[in-house]
């Protein structure tokens, strides 16, 4: 059959990629697609177009995407190109660069990490590979502890099972934080340059260090100092099929909290994540096994880390005995209150800053004002939160908490778990509960309520369409609540760089923010309201009523 020029070019690109691919699985995938497409199979041709029409963009989250063949998938060719580009970037800014590399338990994570190590060593970068799959916070700690120029963590965090990713940290003046502009663009330019040649021509070396347990031991030692028990707390732990358990167990024991009851079905790494639809504690049903285990053992508290253990979910029994998962905002502002108390007691740096992403609860700002601390709203992501000046504590509503910036400059679900366990134990020693503590918070700072709408899509263009529709007809009311003003970040707003974000301020001080997810195919809506009138219960009810109306109103708007 006759093949047009565009199709011939597509087949040539696929064959070229296949010829340099060291992975038998993705080579076979391309062989099958090329053969079928050359024979006129339309779905195979479409699949090749999907894989080769562009490439996964290297940005402030590094790389993240579905495993598979081609430049729009995560695979050994793409990762090797990324490693070579990052190596070139490091060598251009440091005559003697160094890097530490970690990986989680997902499919191909260790393979991608070892490919990165051989490329880095071959380029002349002093390279350390962590000894086995370990949590992301251990890698983030290692960048600071070893004082390396950079770090790479191979993980897709809480994404679906067939995803993987490549997260980059910078040492030195960046203090072990994730990359931000313009560095991401400089790295991307180097990746584009090296991608013009076959990866088979890149120098490689096995002359890299495989670390022993010294780094892990020091992470455990330092993290265990964050809290200690005032009373014995019974708790349940789940690793959500990820890599958190080994490290978390060591930290819990070193901090004096003992060994928790575990969710056996989810405690060991399993890249298939067989008991959950999505390995994200925020997803409906993801914590069902944990809550059942907590009820079975009569626990005081339930703790879940996501698969790379940089996030923390907490569930508690309410006054009615029914278990509920606390929102990321609730955990975030309770831990923020603890950070402010530590600062007031002089156990932290004098003064200092509390920071949260713009989509997180305004409660942290209220805490900062009460304690006369600095406060900073940042764009979403710990790459921004971790860079707040004189940071004491930071959080984002998506279950991310940074409780000790001296240890890790990234969210850390294990250190946050120790801090929350300490809170629960102190309350138990005083004969009080987490719900009592929420009452105390509402009495002192006001009650804060929040809600989130998360619309998952199969076609990413649908997200752009929904954002365009909102901008085309900006709402003047949501439900019966009047809109005061709308901040559009699309061309940059105030001190923030350009972003696809709409922030809607409403009468009475409530707020709605709409933005695409940075890591998943979702449109996300964040709703916040507060009340400082009446008793704690009345304040909560008033705030929740406003949130409920805004939630219903936004769903109607997005469905229109």
Catalytic residues: 157
Rounded Cα gap, residues 223 and 310, in angstroms: 13
Token digits of residue 394: 């930071």
Tell me how many degrees the CA angle 288-243-64 measures, rounded to the nearest 5. 95
Q: Are 501 and 515 in contact (CB under 8 A)?
A: yes
Rounded Cα gap, residues 134 and 142, in angstroms: 11
- CA distances to 245, 276, 296, 306 from 280, rounded to whole Å, are 16, 8, 23, 6
Q: Which residues contact 268 (CB under 8 A, 6 or more apart)?
A: 239, 241, 245
- CA distances to 25, 82, 111, 556 from 201, rounded to whole Å, are 21, 15, 19, 55
- Which residue's entry shows tokens 């993801």? 286
Secondary structure class of 506 (helix, strand, coil): strand
Q: Are 157 and 124 in contact (CB under 8 A)?
A: no
Secondary structure class of 461 (helix, strand, coil): helix
Phi and psi, residue 325, nearest 5°: -80, 130
Burial class (CB in 10 A: 0-12, 13-18, 19+), 26: buried
Rounded Cα gap, residues 95 and 97, in angstroms: 6
Taking the CB of residue 342, how many other CB atoms lie within 10 A of it? 18
Token digits of residue 238: 């789940």
Rounded Cα gap, residues 514 and 526, in angstroms: 6
Q: Which residues contact 366 (CB under 8 A, 6 or more apart)?
A: 445, 446, 448, 530
């Amino acid at each position: 059959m006759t093949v047009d020029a565009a199709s011939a070019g597509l087949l040539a690109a696929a064959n070229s990629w296949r010829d340099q691919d060291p992975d038998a699985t993705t080579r076979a995938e391309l062989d099958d697609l090329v053969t079928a497409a050359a024979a006129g199979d339309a779905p195979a041709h479409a699949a090749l177009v999907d894989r080769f029409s562009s490439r996964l963009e290297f940005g402030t989250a590094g790389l993240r995407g579905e495993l598979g063949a081609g430049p729009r998938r995560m695979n050994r060719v793409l990762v090797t190109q990324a490693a070579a580009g990052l190596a070139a970037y490091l060598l251009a800014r440091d005559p003697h660069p160094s890097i530490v590399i970690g990986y989680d338990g997902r499919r191909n994570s260790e393979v991608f990490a070892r490919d990165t190590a051989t490329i880095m060593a071959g380029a002349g970068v002093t390279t350390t590979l962590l000894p086995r799959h370990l949590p992301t916070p251990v890698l983030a700690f290692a960048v600071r502890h070893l004082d390396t120029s950079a770090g790479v963590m191979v993980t897709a965090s809480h994404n679906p099972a067939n995803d993987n990713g490549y997260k980059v940290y910078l040492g030195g003046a960046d203090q072990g934080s994730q990359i931000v502009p313009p560095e991401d663009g400089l790295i991307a330019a180097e990746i584009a340059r090296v991608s013009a040649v076959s990866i088979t021509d890149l120098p490689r070396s096995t002359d890299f260090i495989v670390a022993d347990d010294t780094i892990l031991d020091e992470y455990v030692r330092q993290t265990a100092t964050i809290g200690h028990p005032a009373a014995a707390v019974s708790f349940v732990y789940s690793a959500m099929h990820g890599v958190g358990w080994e490290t978390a167990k060591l930290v819990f024991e070193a901090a004096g909290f003992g060994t928790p009851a575990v969710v056996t079905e989810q405690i060991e790494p399993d890249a298939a994540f067989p008991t959950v639809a999505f390995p994200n504690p925020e997803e409906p049903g993801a914590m069902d096994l944990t809550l059942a285990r907590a009820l079975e053992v009569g626990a005081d508290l339930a703790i879940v880390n996501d698969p790379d253990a940089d996030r923390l979910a907490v569930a508690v029994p309410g006054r009615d005995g029914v278990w509920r998962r606390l929102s990321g905002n609730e955990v975030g502002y309770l831990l923020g209150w603890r950070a402010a108390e530590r600062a007031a007691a002089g156990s932290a740096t004098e003064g200092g800053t509390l920071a949260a992403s713009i989509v997180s609860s305004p409660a942290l700002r209220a805490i900062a004002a009460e304690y006369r601390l600095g406060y900073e709203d940042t764009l979403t992501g710990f790459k921004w939160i971790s860079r707040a000046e004189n940071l004491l504590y930071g959080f984002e509503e998506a279950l991310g908490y940074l409780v000790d910036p001296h240890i890790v400059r990234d969210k850390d679900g294990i250190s946050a778990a120790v801090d929350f366990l300490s809170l629960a134990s102190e309350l138990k020693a005083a004969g009080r509960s987490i719900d009592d503590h929420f009452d105390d918070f509402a009495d002192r700072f006001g009650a804060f309520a929040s809600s989130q709408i998360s619309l998952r899509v199969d076609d990413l263009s649908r997200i752009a369409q929904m954002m365009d529709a909102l901008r085309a007809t900006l709402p003047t009311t949501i439900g019966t609540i009047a809109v005061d003003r709308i901040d559009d970040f699309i061309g940059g707003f105030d001190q923030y760089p350009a972003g696809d974000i709409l922030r809607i301020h409403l009468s009475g001080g409530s707020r709605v923010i709409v933005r695409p997810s940075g890591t998943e195919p979702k449109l996300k809506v964040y709703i916040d309201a507060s009340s400082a009138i009446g008793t704690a219960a009345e304040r909560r009810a008033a705030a929740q009523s406003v949130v409920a109306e805004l939630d219903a109103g936004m769903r109607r708007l997005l469905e229109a």
